[in-house]
Amino acid sequence: MPRGELLVTPEPDAMREWFRQKPKQLVPKVTTVKTAVASWVHDGEYLAVGGFGTNRIPTALLHEIVRQGRRGLGLSGHTATHDFQILAAGPCIDRVDVAYVLGLEARGLSPSARRLCEGGLLRLTEWTNAALAWRYRAAAMGVPFLPARVMLGTDTWEHSAAKEIQCPFTGMRLAALPALSPDVGLIHVHEADVYGNCRIEGISVADADLARAARRVIISAERLIPHEEIRREPTRTIIPYFCVDAVVEVPGGCYPGNMPYEYFSDEEHLQEWLEAERTPETLRAFLEKYIFGVEDFAGYLDRCGGRSRLQQLRRVELMLVQESEGMRR
């Protein structure tokens, strides 16, 4: 019998009222990273981050959350790795629906994230990647739960906040996954227009559903494109504008992550992060240098090698150079 804490309660009727009030006008929503975070992300709220791990993540938005000193945030951790690492460095978060955090996959575990978890500074409820993706889907569909065949029989199940149900047609035992409507969804995309219509190239992970599930959505985009271009190929719109509250244009906004077709991950810098986390003191110095000590994300990019570094990572992404050339340990 699952006994994990349900960090966000499914409330389809309350969400219906919320979505009814959400503006549907085509009004320009372009703003700065600073203003977007100041206006739309508040202490204590529950966040969900698009992309996957180090891939297509909204790094610029996450840095700004740390820079503005948000506290007491909740997080949906469906393979949140560098994103979790950034928020844990704050530390901005105090509770997590966790499927996969802490690790940066093959790169190792994040010491500061471990300190948070093992120091008892986080409330954790266990889930799986699919469970969290389906929980967004349930919210996007406007239903309070979805059935699934995962987690059953394990401690992951016991420490989740799922419930067991029986299929009324087959009698099958199923997991019921409660709809998850984050307060804020943060998503980095390839292209957006000023109203928030978005395109993503490559895998979309869970972002189509996340954008529909969240109360508020902040989009950072590699580039703005004309609204007419959206209308020229409506098949490619993965997020419609009325889901979106703010749009910021941040070229390189996923750095040091991998933005498909744009630039590869900066493995050296990710390694520098991990090493800086060894002690709270080295982490502090690192954050001072890269986040608190710069005005904005452009300042961070400059300290990381600026345009020439991004150009190099673009060559790696396009496989114009051998990836061993300084890109991995």
Partner 1 sequence: MTTYNSMELMICLAARYLEDGATVVVGTGAPCAAAMLAQKLHAPGLVVMFEAGGMGPLLPTMPISVGDSRTFWRGISASSMTEIMELCQRGMVDYTFLGGAQIDQYGNINSTQIGPRDLPPRVRFPGSGGANDLASLCWRTMMITPQDQRRFVPRLDFMTSPGYLHGPGAREAAGLPPGTGPYKVITQLAVFGFDEATKRMRVESLHPGVDLAQVQDNAGFTLLVAPQLPVSMPPSAEELALLRREVDPYRYVIGRN
Tokens of 139: 């919210």
**129 scored as a contact of partner 1 (CB under 8 A):** yes
Whether the CB-CB separation of 75 and 90 falls below 8 Å is answered with no
Cβ contacts of residue 149 below 8 Å, gap of 6+?
174, 175
- For tokens 């959350």, name the residue: 65
User: Least distance from C-beta 310 to a second copy, angstroms?
Assistant: 22
Q: Among partner 1, a second copy, none, what does residue 11 contact (CB within 5–8 Å per kind)?
A: a second copy
Cβ contacts of residue 320 below 8 Å, gap of 6+?
none
What is the DSSP secondary structure assignment for residue 293, as one 8-state letter?
T
Q: Which is nearer to partner 1, 33 or 160 (CB)?
A: 160
Positions 75 through 114 that interact with a second copy (CB under 8 A) = none
Cβ contacts of residue 168 below 8 Å, gap of 6+?
none
What is the rounded distance in angstroms from the CA atom of residue 43 to the CA atom of residue 250?
24
Q: Among partner 1, a second copy, none, what does residue 230 contact (CB within 5–8 Å per kind)?
A: partner 1
**17 scored as a contact of a second copy (CB under 8 A):** no
**285 scored as a contact of partner 1 (CB under 8 A):** no
**118 scored as a contact of partner 1 (CB under 8 A):** yes
CA distances from 232 to 228, 229, 235 (A): 6, 5, 9
Stretch that binds partner 1, among 85-93, 112-120, 182-190, 289-297 (CB under 8 A): 112-120
Chain centroid, CA 163 distance in Å: 26
Positions 205 through 264 that interact with a second copy (CB under 8 A) = 234-235
The site for a second copy, by CB under 8 A, has a size of 30
**174 scored as a contact of a second copy (CB under 8 A):** yes
Binding-site ranges for a second copy (CB under 8 A): 6, 9-12, 141-149, 163-165, 167-170, 172, 174, 176, 178, 200-202, 234-235
